[in-house]
Structure 1
Amino acid sequence: MKDNYTYDVIIIGGSYSGLSAAMSLGRALREVLVIDSGLPCNRQTPYSHNFITQDGEKPAVISAKAKLQVDLYKTIHFFNGLAVKAIKNENGFEVFTESGKTFNSRKILFASGVKDLIPEIKGFADCWGISVLHCPYCHGYEVKNEKTAIIANGEMGFEYAKLISNWTKDLRLCTNGKSELTLEQTEILNNHGVKIFEEEIDSFEHKEGYIQKIVFKNQDKIEVKAIYARPPFEQHCPIPETLGCDINEQGLLKVDAMQKTNVNGVYASGDCTTPMRSVAIAVSTGSFAGAVINKELIDEDYAK
């Protein structure tokens, strides 16, 4: 880490996507600073899947190994802390951190992820990422053919139930209140053996994060081994919005096919840009963003 220095790129977020981008840039001999606060969204998840060569590995092990490899590139530097503000200036960007440190760069990449807004259901937070899951491609194989519930309603609940039925036929759809399914959707799900529960959920009975029963507010209970849910989320880092970056209707940073935001010099990759939240996709978009940024820097230098 260098003081009073303008880096080629500051990467905000040092998990899978940020580290992947840093490796691309390090191999391109770029001076890069990675700022990370150490709070990846999957920090409670015991195992990562569907990432070739790393299937079944602990997420923290993957990121630790990645950081060790990235750290071998001498032009990559790390700062452990929270970025709280960035401003655009004539030379690029100035980034301010919670500790009072400031850093300058020509470009910024946000690989800062999202923050899940956990519902106020007792036990939900304890089970999130362990037995309350968001993605069947990441975790569905491990709970295939088990008693499974989905917490969703309306169109999302209908489509989610169709998707998860690929992994198990022992399926329940919990709408957590009055069903918003159409009569046709209800009939289709019933015909495929999906049981629909409209009672509001009170809590989860679990053991160390592994779900055992859903408890409804009328005190009825159903036994399950896994739950799928997609709670709302917000951007983990508010800085892109303050810089003027567009956010789409899903709450994700808008990027084009080159991982560029609408603000010149600002790029984004990983979970903050896509609903397809997986380690493999985060790594892919980060690697690509690093290559794009390097090319942009080259083009700028040759235009002088």
Structure 2
Amino acid sequence: MEIEVSSRNMKFLECFSSQTRVRIIELLNARPMNIKSLSEALDIKSPIVTRHIHMLEEAGIVRCESLAGKRGMQKVCHLQLTHAMLLFGGTPAADMAKKYTVSLPVGHYSSCEIKPTCGLASEAQMIGMCDDPRYFADPEHVKARVLWFGSGYVEYRIPNYMVNNETPVSLEISLEICSETPCAVNHLPSDIAFALNGVGIGTWTYPGDFGSTRGIYTPDWWHKNIQHGLIKTIRINGQGSFIDGIQVSGITIDRLKLAYDKEILFRISCSPAAKNCGGVTLFGKGFGNYNQDIEVTLRCE
């Protein structure tokens, strides 16, 4: 997310003028919390916490939902924004560019090579049997809202809506991802690699799973260890490749050779030869904490 430093964005910028609001962000970065828990952790009264949360919610930094608790409804707060870039030089050219967006369900991969442990599930039930890679070729795989594998890859064909007089300036991919497979142990790191059109753009090491906390959108019938992941935002532009705003390689968008008449292939992999081979879990709508599919934005000029 890019934020221009200007008076029109004061609601966002003012969120960081308070030590209490910054502390709330730190707490929510660790886990979702209700107002009462935040009040106890901060040692301030609940109405004051509520006012701070309202301000963070208006700025799009925090999102809240009402859930049934032991004594009625409770307001549970989640950190929605994972990163932001402050722009001091005005509106970037990319924001003025033509934009194409698409949502890819996690089950809509175009090719894969899977090693157990592995599996797929829709919102309603498992698809096939656990730890049998053959079910990744089952036609029902397109209904998957969560999938996992111990090593190997899944590859997605991103629709390309460019026209022949456009030049791509940035490609952004957002997804909820985790290392741990549902039947394995907690705290297993994993070196997860990302590639576009056969070009490796970077590797990110995931520290472990969140099996002890139930995913907000995970169905009630799901009782596997893994519950949710983290939102990761991958961006490739003229300066290089970034994950959550941190540069992971010098691969620029021109290296991907994107053109209006060529497909865009996005691969997510975990190599058995990696230092940390802890597998991959992908969450789509109906699972995890963010209720989204793989979201892609391509900007052109």
* TM-score normalised by the chain length of structure 1: 0.23
Greater strand percent: which structure? 2
More helix by share: 1
